[in-house]
């Protein structure tokens, strides 16, 4: 049903094309379900666990010695803000998964603090996803997911798990934290996949 809100004209502020329902911000808002975990790099590790249980492990030193990329991408948060042209540095998941043997179709990202989010494995490959550890030329601060976070900019930002500690690969598409309380399982901002069933 189409209705008009009496007396509403709107404030169309952004000339840029954004995904439907988004507005432009120049700030960097924070959204997470609980307090910010503070993890020291020396206590940090990242693991990839395959569907057969094989574990690949990186500590901070081995992780940061991998080839890193400069990444500039737009971010779209399901709470409706978009921020354009953000600058990151991180390791491509193509690099991290290069020696991982798997036939899995799905990945669950796990974070320090217990957060999880599910993604199709193919969305993490081919230059679409990184483990980022610098933002705007500075080490990533804890509020924004430091020491390192997943960065999957083509999906809503809740998929870019902050404080990431590992990926568990699987043949089945299980639901992560927000996905299991009503958010969309995939989360494409351009298709406005905010909530389950969108």
Partner 1 sequence: MERTALRRRLTWQVGTVTEIRQETATARTLVVDVPDWPGHLAGQHLDVRLTAPDGYRASRSYSLASAWTGETIELTVEEVPDGEVSPYLVEVLKVGDPLEVRGPVGGWFVWRPEQAGPIQLIAGGSGVVPLMAILRAHAAAGGTPPAKLLYSVRRPTSVIYLSDLKEIAASDDVEVTFAYTREAPPGEPRVGRVDADLLDAITFTPKDEPTTYVCGPTPFVEAVADLLVAAGHDPARVKTERFGPTGGPR
Q: Is 172 in the site for ligand FAD (CB under 6 A)?
A: no
24 binds, among partner 1, ligand FAD, none (CB under 5 to 8 A by kind): ligand FAD
Distance, in Å, from the CA atom of 107 to the CA atom of 159, rounded to the nearest integer, reads 11
Interface stretch with partner 1, choices 34-42, 68-76, 94-102, 146-154 (CB under 8 A): 34-42
Contact 22, 189 (CB under 8 A): yes
Tokens of 183: 């958010």
Strand partners, 150: 131
Interface stretch with ligand FAD, choices 18-26, 114-122, 167-175, 190-198 (CB under 6 A): 18-26
Nearer to partner 1, 8 or 61 (CB): 8
Could you give the 3-state DSSP secondary structure of residue 45?
strand
Strand partners, 55: 49
Q: Is 12 in the site for ligand FAD (CB under 6 A)?
A: no
**Burial label, 72 (beta-carbon count in 10 A; 0-12, 13-18, 19+):** exposed
Within 10 angstroms of residue 46's Cβ, the number of other Cβ atoms is 21
Tokens of 52: 């057969």
The kind and range of the H/E element at 177 are none
Q: Is 16 in the site for ligand FAD (CB under 6 A)?
A: no
- Of residues 70, 122, 143, 171, which one binds partner 1 by CB under 8 A? 143
Site for ligand FAD in 46-105 (CB under 6 A): 79
- Of residues 10, 13, 20, 137, which one binds ligand FAD by CB under 6 A? 13
Q: Is 127 in the site for partner 1 (CB under 8 A)?
A: no
Q: How far is the CB of 183 from partner 1 (least distance, A)?
A: 8
8-state DSSP, 119: E
Binding footprint of ligand FAD on the chain (CB under 6 A): 13-14, 23-25, 79
């Amino acid at each position: 049903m189409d209705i008009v809100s009496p007396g509403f004209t709107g404030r169309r502020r952004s000339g840029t094309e954004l995904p439907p329902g988004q507005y432009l911000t120049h700030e960097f808002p924070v959204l997470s379900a609980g307090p910010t975990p503070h993890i020291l790099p020396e206590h940090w590790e990242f693991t990839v666990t395959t569907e057969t249980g094989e574990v690949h492990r990186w500590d901070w030193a081995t992780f940061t010695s991998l080839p890193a990329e400069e990444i500039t991408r737009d971010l779209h948060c399901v709470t409706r803000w978009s921020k354009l042209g953000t600058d990151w540095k991180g390791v491509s998941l193509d690099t991290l998964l290069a020696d991982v043997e798997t036939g899995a179709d799905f990945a669950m990202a796990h974070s320090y603090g217990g957060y999880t989010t599910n993604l199709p494995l193919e969305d993490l490959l081919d230059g679409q996803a990184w483990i980022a550890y610098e933002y705007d030329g500075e080490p990533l601060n804890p509020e924004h997911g430091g020491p390192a976070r997943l960065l999957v900019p083509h999906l809503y930002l809740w998929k870019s798990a902050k404080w990431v500690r590992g990926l568990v690969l699987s043949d089945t598409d299980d639901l992560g934290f927000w996905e299991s309380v009503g958010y969309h399982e995939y989360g494409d901002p351009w298709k406005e996949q905010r909530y389950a069933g969108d």
